[in-house]
A and B are shown apart, each in its own frame.
Chain A
């Protein structure tokens, strides 16, 4: 099992460009999450999907949109990137009886 996978691993964008971060899991997770991690700020929840077909805002949703394409896939879209969105983005999945979350390897995004 690959677990939770994310693409791309690295990305550089110019201000105003758009992009989609992809996340997929093969662990039969019901819930999926997108976080960003910044120095001194810890992990902050952007959006989550408690189950297939539902999505909800987390702590820092502004500037982002998400799609839960099916049970396996949960994507994060930046419509018009800003330098403040420079961060490391992690996708996570959970479910199957417990609330523990398992993280993907992350995407390091730089917006210039």
Chain B
């Protein structure tokens, strides 16, 4: 059973701080990694994807991937109250299952003004 694990939270940070969200995965053959943001009552929205080891930055968001440790993280700099949401980590399967995503259960982030 392929698994994606996330700390369920809630993770609470003050406005302007860095929020760090973490995810581990069990399938060593996974090649593509995604972060989705889901506001309460809404659908998941893709915010970042990363395929290679290292960091990928997009505005206030940085995704970090370490395939050897089977670990992916999302950093949100200068956190804003509008960043308060559940963040879902998703990982592709390996081999013929690379078009299917396995999702973690999500981490609830609260940014306090």
Which of A31, A33, A100, A105 has the most C-beta atoms of chain B within 10 angstroms of its own C-beta? A100
Interface residue count for B (Cβ, 8 Å)?
19
Measured between C-beta atoms, what is the minimum distance from A55 to chain B in Å?
A: 13
Q: Is the CB of B46 within 8 A of A100?
A: yes
Q: Is the CB of B99 within 8 A of A31?
A: yes
Interface membership of A98, Cβ < 8 A:
yes
A-binding residues in B (CB < 8 A): 32, 34, 42-46, 49, 88, 90, 92, 98-101, 103-106
Q: Is the CB of A101 within 8 A of B43?
A: no
| A-B complex: 9 closest residue pairs judged by Cβ atoms | A42-B105, A103-B43, A43-B103, A99-B32, A106-B43, A103-B44, A99-B92, A31-B99, A100-B49
Q: Is the CB of B101 within 8 A of A99?
A: yes
Docked pose: A105 CA to B32 CA in angstroms: 24
Assuming the contacts A99-B32, A99-B92, A99-B98, asked whether A42 and B44 have C-beta atoms less than 8 A apart, the reply is no
Docked pose: A104 CA to B42 CA in angstroms: 9
